[in-house]
Amino acid sequence: MDKRTAAARIEKLKKEIRRLNRAYFIENKPQASEDVRDALKQELITLEKEHPDLVTPDSPTQRVGAPLDGRLPKVRHLSPKESLQDIFSREEIDDWMDQMQRALGKDHLHLEFIAELKIDGLNISLTYELKQGVYQLRRALTRGNGIEGEDVTHTVRTIEALPLSFPIKESKQLPKHLEISGEVYMTKAALSHLNKDLPEDEKFANPRNAAAGSVRQLDPHVTAERDLRIFCYAIDPQGTDTLGITTQKQLMEFLVEHGFPVHADFTLCSSVDAIHKVFEGWQKKREALPFDIDGIVIKMNDRKIQRDLGSTAKAPRWARAYKFPAEQKTARVLDIQLQVGRTGAITPVAHLTPTLVSGSTVARATLHNADEIERLDVRIGDTVVIQKAGDIIPEVVEVLKNLRPHGTKPFHYPLHCPSCGTTLERPEGEVVRRCPNPQCTASRKERIEHFASRHAMNIEGLGEETVELLLEEGLITDPADIFTLAAEDLMALPLFKQKKTENLMVSIERAKHIPLEHFLFALGIRHVGREIAEILARRIHWPVQKKEVTMEGAAGPQTSLFGSETKKGKLHGIMMESICQTLQEMEAEKLAEIDGIGPVVAASVKEWIDEEDHRDLLHKFAAAGVLALQSEGSHAPQIFAGKTFVLTGTLPTLSREQAKILIKERGGKVSSSVSKKTDYVLVGADPGSKEDDARKLNVAMIDEKKFLLLLK
């Protein structure tokens, strides 16, 4: 695949993976199975390995985990949460072994591993605080984005098997806080019992989604009735070091000794053959288990070797998730229809005969683009192979041409937009066809839905049906019109009663004062995902002004129909006019130099702001009173710009994550390994091999005290 084709395919993959992740992890309404998401992610990993210059910070491969829900308080983890790299074959295990042995050298020819079940549940981090010789549960967080998670202490406390406190033997050195990781899950029997009493459209597709939905309940009484379970399997590195735990086996034994539920069937393995034997054994027995598993987790047993191997930007080098192969089913293609996205991208979708795959009904599958249809030669009437899926969108693997009905015809990609009839364009270097009409009703609807979505402006109550109704009634034509809606307008619409109208108006008023990174993401600029938006918000110098505004929480003047009072105050923020001027004046080359941006994103941002319609949109936001709030840390002087740090050991007062944030907020990079390009190695107590690497390469080493002096 040439570079241009790869770039277009990578963008499509990233968009689809993000959408599926949101549906699966946040909304608990899977639109594709984990196997399908794995398949898409593996394709993305392969393409990015072939074209490393196309890797961007907002890629699903560069980040951990899934996006935060937003309903529950967000709290920072004591230590960053990593995700495991997946492998699917014996050959990939061999490659991994070779990588580790090359990294460790001849002194470690015989390695020992622990093979544990990979429970298909929701990852939870439990923080225990030491008081008078007893550790007490203080907080439970979801994984979130790996840096911060949702506080679900109120529901996790209802899990009967989880100790709320445990005593520990006296020791001179015990960590004040101990962070224990586990997987909350629901048994198949509990899911069946739960679904029995739920309406058809509210039933959970699988135990994993039922567990996730139950943990995120606002009312712990609801959770308590749902028989959640948990298996624990990890302790934060600082805790294990202080407790003198030297192996993964000892870690599991410590958890068992102190009353934590641990799946007892973990196995010590000293060869690839032994690992593969465990894998095959569980693959045969998985259906008989009372809960779902999707593979096994392989971990280096020796914790010193774990430290020596370290981690990449998002995953430990000393562990892998060995996953079972995807399940496949067949379905017939009833129709192929085109969908219009917010950027005008046209996506063909295959409508399938409803097919039950592992408890979920598959009805549609994306065909990506015209080239993909041609490659697969998909035709209406064909029988296709689909991977294991969720409620809506699976992966089409192949067409079973021997089952093709007589008289089927190749699918001819339409020349015109199915919504507005405009002639479609195929930009040079792209595989996707686009509708160039900025007034296209379908793409305009998608843009407004994106603008109002949870991780953008988070305007609750402004979903797909409401946006469509507002467009049909002519009450809005673009996102800025949302802020001019009046309660009287909404009350005249079907299904809009007083409470629904008031809630929407309050949500709209709150959205007028939104963090800058959320606003930049909401604009829908091509290639600007959530992480890119955060980089732009933090790394560009935005002029901050003080402005008198209607304070958050007041319903605002438009809700006067209900007699709400307005409340004035002053906020520091970035005016819409300043955003417009800053982006216009900033050169593309200067923008591309920002770490994590690059020429593709820079060109896309400049192309967006060069459009007169977009500048007019920003001025409409200004007239409506929208103010972007300054990002935390964006004001920090960029004293580490161009500098690369490596962290090793335990710092006296700062956690590793706190140190990383201080570095990144000031323009620096944090690497996981020492090289000639490293500027500083920040050394704490009990450093690993990185200290030796720094000495060999003559890289400057500093302690926490010197590091803090650099910040002044």
Contact present, 550 and 556 (Cβ < 8 Å): yes
- Amino acid 554: pLDDT: 38
Q: Which residues are catalytic?
A: 118
DSSP class of 434: B
Paired residues of 685 in beta bridges:
650
- Rounded to whole angstroms, the Cα distance separating 400 from 378 reads 10
Q: Which of these, 245, 261, 83, 90, lies nearest to 171 by C-alpha position?
A: 245
Give the pLDDT band of residue 241 (cuts 50, 70, 90).
Answer: confident
Per-residue pLDDT at 561: 45
Query: What is residue 395's three-state secondary structure?
Result: coil
How far is 223 from 213, CA to CA, in rounded Å?
A: 9
644-711 under CATH 3.40.640.10, yes or no: no
Pick from 188, 228, 183: nearest CA to 206: 188
In whole angstroms, give the CA distance from residue 74 to residue 72. Answer: 6
Q: To which CATH superfamily is domain 441-629 assigned?
A: 5' to 3' exonuclease, C-terminal subdomain (1.10.150.20)
Map out the domains of the chain as residue ranges. 3-63+327-403, 74-323, 441-629, 644-711
In whole numbers, what is the pLDDT of the chain averaged over residues? 84
Question: What is the mean predicted confidence (pLDDT) over 324-329?
Answer: 74
pLDDT digits (tens, 9 = 90+) for 525-568: 988 888 788 888 888 888 888 776 665 443 343 444 444 445 56
- Give yes or no for residue 68 having a pLDDT over 60: no
Tell me which of 1.10.287.980, 2.40.50.140, 3.40.50.720, 1.10.260.40 is the CATH number of domain 3-63+327-403. Answer: 2.40.50.140
CB 375 within 8 A of CB 322: no
Contacts of 653 (CB under 8 A, 6+ apart): 704
Tell me the average pLDDT across 431-459: 88
Q: For Cα atoms 523, 517, 608, give the angle at the middle one, nearest 5 degrees.
A: 35
Instruction: Report the predicted TM-score, pTM, of the whole model to 2 decimal places.
Output: 0.49
- The Cα-based distances of 711 to 209, 517, 541, 636, 639 in angstroms read 44, 25, 19, 10, 8
Sign of CA dihedral 264, 266, 268, 273: positive
E strand intervals along 566-667:
568-574, 627-629, 644-648
Nearest-CA neighbor of 233 among 267, 212, 256, 202?
256
CA-based torsion, 200, 390, 115, 62: positive or negative: negative
* 622-636: pLDDT as tens digits: 999 999 887 654 556
The answer, yes or no, to whether residue 620 has pLDDT greater than 90, is yes
| CA distances for 471 relative to 444, 495, 620, 669, angstroms | 9, 16, 18, 45
Calpha distance 673→659 (Å, rounded): 16
Tens of pLDDT along 690-703?
A: 888 899 999 999 99
CB 262 within 8 A of CB 246: no
In terms of Cα–Cα distance, which of 234, 295, 221 is closest to 260?
234
**Percent of the chain surpassing pLDDT 70:** 89
Could you count the other beta carbons within 10 Å of the beta carbon of residue 525? 21
How many residues are given for the chain? 712
Instruction: Output the pLDDT for position 160.
Output: 80
- Nearest Cα neighbor of 312 from 659, 61, 614, 91 is 61
Percentage of the chain lying above the pLDDT 90 cut? 29
| CA dihedral over 684, 690, 694, 696, signed as positive or negative | positive
Q: What is the pLDDT of residue 388?
A: 56
Domain 74-323 - what CATH class?
alpha beta
pLDDT of 357 reads 60
